[in-house]
Structure 1
């Protein structure tokens, strides 16, 4: 719903579950009442009514039964007066077109819009002629798009019985031989344009029938893709049968394809390669492009010789032709053989500069012409796009392909021995009737599969985590020494294991590479456990050993175990990681030992099945997913086993992911264009195509019923319809309505045509001359429903035959003294109530005055208030607004105007004649010291509870032992922090206390600490001291020191002692 089609907004959508409405800008979906249990998806006719009012909400009924009721939705809202209704499918607001493949399958009938709300009592008769006068959108007003068919006779009201049942109670019908219907085979169409008209044979029905209905009509224009046609046949006994077939429309060019444009005209001239040295494949064209039929003959000839179809001329003397076959071998065709195939004679040797001309009008006979007479040359490929040709050769492997029937092919990758594809791929890649392999969906899309790369047996990596406990607190020096020792002991232990197991753990005998200092992590952790009142330290040790075989044989040859089995037995049964003989008192905690293993591959390899496979060109190893991923668009990789891709130079891009060479990097073309692989440059999208993104290699086609005005469209919104009746195409290629007095019918008039003399049309956009019926209306009037109506007050009209009058201006400022005005000079400037005129400008009535135009004072001045009263503000419109007493600054008027009151503390008022006082800025931080203040400077800053104000105006939190309560005392906001009651302070770390109740911590002297459970000050125990007051614990003397008694207050009282 909106005022124009350029800014549509979805407001209502229906489906079988209910309705979604967006009147307020927020989508709100309401589902059918499950209690009612009405299924509208049962292949029967149902009458659905949606009614909404801004005063009563909305109601939805199905078959006269209320299924949705919301009496409060969008109350008071006004919708735009215009709407756009779409039936049978989802509508793309950006492209302004129905979404292909998202349509409604079924029938609609009599969908009508009314200009009023229906009470429930009227809904059962809404489909009759009773309410014809209330209709504003009729069933016949809808425009049909492709894929939608209007049937000649409605089936509304026919029996709802399912097939095989008849009568008012749907009784089983008499035994009748059921119908059978056979559809034609699938239809395959090839077109180099974006659409093609479809035709097919009629289905075969095995007997007499009452109706035969297709889901799509013959001759309909279809876009690239797959389309389904279903036929429904019904006999006179009510038996129904169905059949379906598919129409495949694929891109293809059996002629000369130049950047996606297929040339198919009457004459082609083949040219040798040195005429235009910039091309690897060349054809010289006459004024008309190439003949598709002729080139097809050439292709058939080459195909019969096992050629790939990608051919070009090589020799300059035309005594033969060479091309590459499917295996890349050069095949030479003698001139006489080619002449025989084409039905003509070839030029003889020595005719350099002469061209072979083949004319369809002459039955494709060969003639000789001079090349210089040809109009131009193009570089091109003649390969037919989209016909399931074998994919590009795969490195270190081959494609094994077979036909799958119905114009389908399937291929699988077979790698050479000791090679594999470095990721999971489908066993078979398929190419269907649309002619594209895999995920490719456009004629220019590049289909890529990673090459086969070397594979090797998978390896194993083991992960070890142990915890070693050491007695006693350790100094930093001791801890560092232990960590160094642990790394060395682990490496030494693996040297022993390496000797026991055939040097399979380490390639270097001292294991210095796999178990270097950097590969073993040792972290000290604190331990809360105590043993015999002596603290301990613990060390977490983690390391891994990779590139190990899955199975290991010991040096004696009598045992075979996995690396995990070896380490588990070594650690848990043989105490292999217990270093108590090397680190005094150390214990390796067996319950904290964790040893695991996982498959492992080398750098740039991924695990595929049971093998490690090198990442192929065009891929990189993703350490997060541990897979070989395609290089993103704009990057490439020309080597195997890599962990990253290289960016295209100069901001270039690639045609899809997985590029294997810098040669794949092309210019990133702007939106509205694409990169031409033939010309090696950016080209504008042709007419009827667009491209919204940058860096693309093709353009997207407009829907079949839309075109663009010019090449280079960069948005789908630039696809527009042919101009409908009532409009014409302007110089900019846009559809504009025929002006008033003109008409145009699509397909009849090329341009808008003027009405006969003395008549005009009712408005813009007229279609036929029959609409030229409007009479001649004189100045001062306008055409209103074929009658002349005088211009209203505030309007004039100096011309005749007008459909409206001219406004004097803003109706709030301009008026006329009578109706039917004919001149602009009859317009007079005035001001609305509350304003007076000053030099054609409206000036607000100042405070204390008013103006009321209801008394006829349109052009006068403002009147003063009586009785020593004033108005609350300017622009007052009535004497009733004179309600405020005349109060001076620092005072405000009571609401009833009975007098003035002084502004209370925390407020002020600098102006007179005010109804209220002004709050100090940030009332939580500012106040005044008295009443009736007239300036904001009277507002004095104060601090919140728990804070006191400093000389620089900042608030400082009350220190420990102090508090401030703004709720207690005079001028409480300006008070200073107050000491806690005697004997108590606030808790440790507690500042900004807001009241005395927070002072709960006993104020203990130095040498004492506060014992909260006993709520008492306790002296420091022997061996401890406390120099500060108000503390919760004492400080311990250093190791080997103690005090001579309790209550010590200084560290100097700690003395050494002997055990």
Structure 2
């Protein structure tokens, strides 16, 4: 029996089909995916037209001319084709591909799989060797790749992992991670990736070698990059593991430096070596090549950012090192030269009253030295006429009748006018305000008289002006208050103004209230306006008078009342009210609304405040107590004035437009029966 099985390489010129057995894509490379099978006896003539797909309903028709041997696709296929093993009865069946060998033992055509594939358990189909394996010597089994080698699924051979990579589970060559390298092929496991030496990095994955860091750089923590030296550090050489901290007095401000810059004089580097900072007060740095700030010696000082120290001035000292200023010598001491570390005490009778002095001062006459810090004045009542004296005992008492009027007196003097001798305090004191003393050498002062005043130390008293009086202490003249006056030029007390008068502040007399004003109390600073409805006609009024009947004052502060005019009447003495419409008043000075009279019949007062009534004109009339004359209605007339009604026109006549007469509206031969209400004329013969 002979069974022919085609390879997928024989399908290129045929329609693509799928096997009923596997369902795989024909392009996947298996031998059973696209196959056709026909079995013959070795004595049976081979007929290619009988070839069928394994799925019976799909038939393939060959052109016999296509069944001739064609070149193999590759050398591997040529090696697998053994022509001398092909049965005599079967022709070579190929289509731009290679056939497989025949097994002469059972006269059956057997699949021989290509590299990377092995026969399955049926022997009729080829399948891929799994990843990490390759086909062995026979095509029945797969063998694993060697360590450091790998293969993908279906690979014909194993591939050695290149440098920079390592084999992982024989299925792939993985790149060494950044920061590590591998300079050998065929390595297995990530342990074959080596860490770069100090000062070297592997920047990318799969590195074969490491790169040396340049000056101004150092490797990062995982050796994947050369980082620039941070500010404050530097590296002058290449291939070094770390950057160096800048030396004392030097810095780097930017990154990636291979050397440090020195700080200028008066400065030093900060701890981080990233900036130059000024030497603090009390320190200095004099080197142009950089260095640390040093303390100034005792007797000297320095300001901020100093390159040297300055000696303390005379009058100052400094006992400690590293100071930013010198200290003033305290009062009672001095320093006479520069650079002092301590101050000296003044000799007896000499002082330094303030701090920071370079020499002591001799106490003058009238004073004495007290504890080296000040020259104290001799107390009042004592004197001193020599310089450079020490102690209060150097001050002497004045002779009786004389005083040392002030502290620090050099001599004693007699008390002057305006002063008196205080025997207890041994001093001349000013006469107090309100007292005076005209003579010298007196023991007391005299008080000022009434209406007089004096200031402290006065020799005479001064009289107060008009409109003023002396205060109780006789120390000042004060103005008379509003409502009071003082008229004497020799002084005196302020007195109250009488009722009906007033005064302003500092008045020498009182002023009578003006007409329209009054003041019922004494001692007042102003007068009061008469209220509306009242008046005062003369000066000095103590009260206001009521307006007489028919008179009024509408506003305050008036000196006379106003008579109500005609057409109006007085209402509660504060206003004149107009008579209402329909009434009139033809007299002045009237009081109450009853003074307004009703107009006679036929007369009207059309507006408020009427002085007289107006007679109604012809064509109009006015009923009793009406406010206006009314026009006669149509058909009615009134030819007279001052009437209370209109007359109806007789039949056959009508009222004219003015309502003053009745007229005949019809032409001759016509008549009207519409008494006064319109023409409506008819012919005389009409019934």
The answer to whether the superposition gives a TM-score over 0.5 is: no
Q: More strand per residue: 1 or 2?
A: 1
Q: Give the TM-score of the pair, scaled to structure 2.
A: 0.28
TM-score by length of 1: 0.20
Select the structure of larger CA radius of gyration.
Answer: 2
